[in-house]
Amino acid sequence: MAIAKLEPVEHLKEYELYTLKDREAELLETGPDTEVGDMTTAIQDTHERVQNKRMQYLAYTIYQSWPDQESGILPLEKYNQMGRELGEKFAPGHLVWVTTHTDKKNTHNHITICSVHSETGKALALKKADIRRLHEINNGIARENGLSLNLPRVKDPTLNLPDHVRQMFAQGKPHWMIHMVEKIDFARAISTDFDEFKSHLHFLGVGTVIEDKNITYTYGGDEK
C-alpha cells in the first residue's frame, strides 16, 4: 500500500538540503516546468509576488512511501511520476517538487508543495475533507498502477487525547499531539519489526523511551 502523510515544512532551506543530500543511492528530483533555480527561492518569490500577509508555513510536504514488496519493481521515474501526479491533483495551481529516494528499504517520495496558489495567492486547503481527498487520490494512483491501496485507519486518531485537542482535530486545526499520533501510525504501518518502527520514528522526529512493557513517545526535540 502506498502511504501518504502530509505535514508542514518548518525550515524550508534545511528541508531542501535534506531531500537532496547524497545518500549513495539513486535519487531523482523534478520541479515545475515554469521554475528555474532552487526550490526555496522559487517558493519564497511566489509568496512575495502573490500575497502580502506572511503565512506561518511557506510549504507543505507529502511523504509518499511504498512497502518493500512494491519498492524497486518500477523504474525510478515511475515512482517520481506517481508523486508528481499526487501533488498536482491534490494542489492544482501550486508549485510542486518531487524528490524520490531509494536509500531505505521503502522507495519513497518527498512531495513539496508551495502553500499558496501561484496565481490567486489562496492558501492550500487542509481541512479533514482535504486530507481524506489526499488519500483517495493516492489510492486512485495506486489502483491505476496495479499497486495495493492504503486502507483507512481503524482507530480514531484522537483516541485518549485531551478534549481540547479532539476539538481542534474536529475543526481541522493543527496540534503537535495530533501530528505525533499520525507519525506513529504512519511508522507502524510501514514497519515490519520494532527496530524498523523506531528507525522510522526517529526519521520523523519522534523519540521513544522503553520501560518494561510501556513506550513513552517524545516530540519536538524531547520537549513534549
Q: Average pLDDT for residues 212-218, to the nearest whole number?
A: 82
Given pLDDT bands bounded at 50, 70 and 90, which one contains residue 154?
very low
Question: What's the chain's average pLDDT?
Answer: 84
Closest CA to 59 of 23, 110, 3: 110
Which residues are CB-neighbours of 216 under 8 A, at least 6 positions away?
A: 208, 209, 210
Q: Average pLDDT for residues 7-36, to the nearest whole number?
A: 87
pLDDT by residue (tens digit) across 28-73? Answer: 999 998 777 899 999 999 999 997 577 889 999 999 988 888 888 8
Residue 209 is classified by DSSP as E
User: ∠ CA 57-32-104 to the nearest 5 degrees?
Assistant: 75
pTM of the complete model = 0.69
User: ∠ CA 164-168-173 to the nearest 5 degrees?
Assistant: 150
pLDDT by residue (tens digit) across 108-133? Answer: 999 999 999 999 999 998 887 888 88
Q: State how far the alpha carbon of 174 is from the alpha carbons of 18, 102, 178, 182, in Å.
A: 24, 30, 7, 12
Q: Where are the alpha helices (DSSP H) in the chain?
A: 12-19, 39-50, 76-90, 128-144, 163-170, 176-190, 194-203
